[in-house]
Amino acid sequence: MKDKVVLITGGSSGIGKALSEVFGKAGARIAITGRNQEKLDEQADRLAKMGIECLSIQADSADEQDNYRTVSETINKYGQIDILIANAGISMRAMFEDLDMKVFEKVMNINLYGPVYLTKAALPYLKRSKGSIIGISSFNGFKGTPARTAYTASKFALGGFLEALRIELFNSDVHVMTVYPGFTESNIRNTALTASGDQQGKSPYEEGKMMSSEEVASRIFKATKKKKRELYMGFETKMGKFLNKFFPKLTDRMVYNHMKKEEGSPVK
pLDDT tens digits for 109-125?
Answer: 999 999 999 999 999 99
Weakest-pLDDT range from 53-57, 200-204, 234-238: 200-204
Q: Among 3.20.20.70, 3.40.50.720, 3.20.20.140, 3.60.15.10, what is the CATH number of 5-242?
A: 3.40.50.720
- Residue 180 DSSP code: E
Task: Determine the distance from the C-alpha atom of residue 78 to the mean position of all C-alpha atoms in its chain, rounded to a whole number.
Answer: 23
Q: Which residues pair with 86 in a beta bridge?
A: 135
Active-site residue (options: 113, 117, 125, 151): 151
Nearest alpha-carbon partner for 80 in 174, 26, 5, 176: 5
DSSP state, residue 253: H
Q: How far apart, in Å, do the first and last CA atoms of the chain sit?
A: 49
Question: Is the model's pLDDT at 130 over the cut of 70?
Answer: yes
Q: Of 198 and 150, which is predicted with more confidence?
A: 150
Our answer to whether residue 151 is catalytic in this structure is yes
Q: What is the pLDDT, as a whole number, of residue 182? A: 81
Please answer whether residues 181 and 138 qualify as being in contact, where contact means their C-beta atoms are separated by less than 8 angstroms.
yes
Quickly count helices (H) and strands (E) in the chain.
9, 7
Q: Which residue has the higher pLDDT, 139 or 262?
A: 139
Task: For 74-95, write each residue's pLDDT tens digit.
Answer: 999 999 999 999 999 998 999 9
Confidence of residue 196 (pLDDT cuts 50, 70, 90): confident
Name the band, by pLDDT with cuts 50, 70 and 90, for residue 189. low
Determine phi and psi for 146, rounding to 5 degrees. -65, 150
- For 33, residues 6+ apart whose C-beta sits below 8 A from its C-beta are 7, 8, 9, 10, 11, 40, 56, 57, 58, 59, 61, 70, 88
Predicted local distance difference test score (pLDDT) of residue 268: 82
Name beta bridge partners: 6.
30, 83
pLDDT of residue 157: 97
Query: How much is the pLDDT for 71?
Result: 98
Q: What percent of the chain has pLDDT over 90?
A: 79
